[in-house]
Amino acid sequence: MRDHRGPRGPVIRDHRTGGGSDGGGGDGGSGGNYASYGDELVLDGGYSNCCAGGYDVVGYGADGYGSWGRALQLPHFAFEFGTGMRRFADPVGTMNTLAGEGGYDVVGGAGVDSAVTTQMRMLVGLSGPLYIGVEGEIGGLVSAPPIRAVSERLPTMEARSGMVLGATALVGAMWRTGRSALGIELAAGGRSVVYEFDGHGAKFATTAGGAVVEPRVRAEYWLSPWFAAGAMAGANVVASGDWMAAGYLSVHTRAFGGR
């Protein structure tokens, strides 16, 4: 048996009758015309000797994942959902004093904030290993230096909670080998921390934040053709001591990212 597959998958024809022809391609579609004559096969104007049993495999070969694995009418989209840890210099301490409400000033000391966050990412595949995307992040502080609201007329208050919000644009590249993949990316955007105060008859929130320019490394393992699990870590190059680490799950519109 000889395999004459092209881009779509094999069609087996029996040419033992010693004559006749069958045109129009392996599946009746365009291209790949053939005609059989005895033990010879004419394919797109050329001859191919048939195997001894009189069988040839004619048609269109498939790619590594088959047509089922590539939704070619759509770009390669990936949607990722993860959770991670961030540590960064307290933005109130960095900015020293922020204007508050109701006669208060919000003052922070030097220190480091720790937060647990949830990330949501959408990526779009470009040429080869390249991709672009956007990332949104929301979470809460789990540790922070004391943040106080002070006033000349009212008692001092400390922040009861802090919510972390972030948004970045992404550009990166991933290289896959088997079920494993490694990549690098750059995230650029901003991050804010919202501090809430409640007490002594006053209730208000104030916000502090800063820029994020964060190179990262990534590693993934494909659990199935459309689902992968991964981890990433990075550091903010415009703020000292600012870093993150996270794990995530991703779902893709193309099997193994179309690669």
For residue 127, what is the domain's CATH number?
A: 2.40.160.20
Within a domain: residue 70?
no
Q: Are residues 250 and 161 in the same domain?
A: yes
Strands 55-60 and 2-4: parallel
Q: Per-residue confidence at 153, pLDDT binned at 50, 70, 90?
A: confident
Q: Is residue 21's pLDDT more than 90?
A: no
| Structural domains counted in the chain | 2
Q: Per-residue confidence at 94, pLDDT binned at 50, 70, 90?
A: low
Within a domain: residue 173?
yes
Rounded-to-integer distance, Cα 167 and Cα 192, Å: 9
Q: Per-residue confidence at 158, pLDDT binned at 50, 70, 90?
A: confident
Q: Is residue 161's pLDDT more than 90?
A: no
Of 62, 85, 100, which residue constitutes the final position of a domain?
A: 62
Within a domain: residue 183?
yes
Q: Are residues 44 and 132 in the same domain?
A: no
Q: Are residues 42 and 85 in the same domain?
A: no
Q: Is residue 60's pLDDT more than 60?
A: no
Q: Are residues 94 and 57 in the same domain?
A: no
CB atoms within 10 A of CB 102: 14
Residue 159 pLDDT: 81
Q: Are residues 11 and 95 in the same domain?
A: no
Sheet holding 105-108, edge to edge: 97-99, 105-108, 147-150, 157-158
Q: Are residues 124 and 90 in the same domain?
A: yes
Within a domain: residue 8?
yes
Rounded-to-integer distance, Cα 202 and Cα 140, Å: 22
Round to the nearest angstrom and report the end-to-end CA distance of the chain: 30
Residues 216-245 as b/e (b if ≥16 CB within 10 A, e otherwise) read: bebebebeebbebebebebebeebeebebe
Name the most confidently modeled range: 6-15, 204-213, 245-254. 245-254
Residue 25 pLDDT: 45
Q: Are residues 19 and 122 in the same domain?
A: no
Q: Are residues 35 and 157 in the same domain?
A: no
Residue 104 pLDDT: 74
Q: Is residue 100's pLDDT more than 80?
A: no
Q: Are residues 84 and 48 in the same domain?
A: no
Rounded-to-integer distance, Cα 177 and Cα 220, Å: 10
Q: Are residues 250 and 135 in the same domain?
A: yes
CB atoms within 10 A of CB 202: 17
Q: Are residues 82 and 151 in the same domain?
A: yes
The domain of 38 spans 2-62
More confident residue, 249 or 96: 249
Q: Are residues 118 and 39 in the same domain?
A: no
Q: Is residue 184's pLDDT more than 80?
A: yes
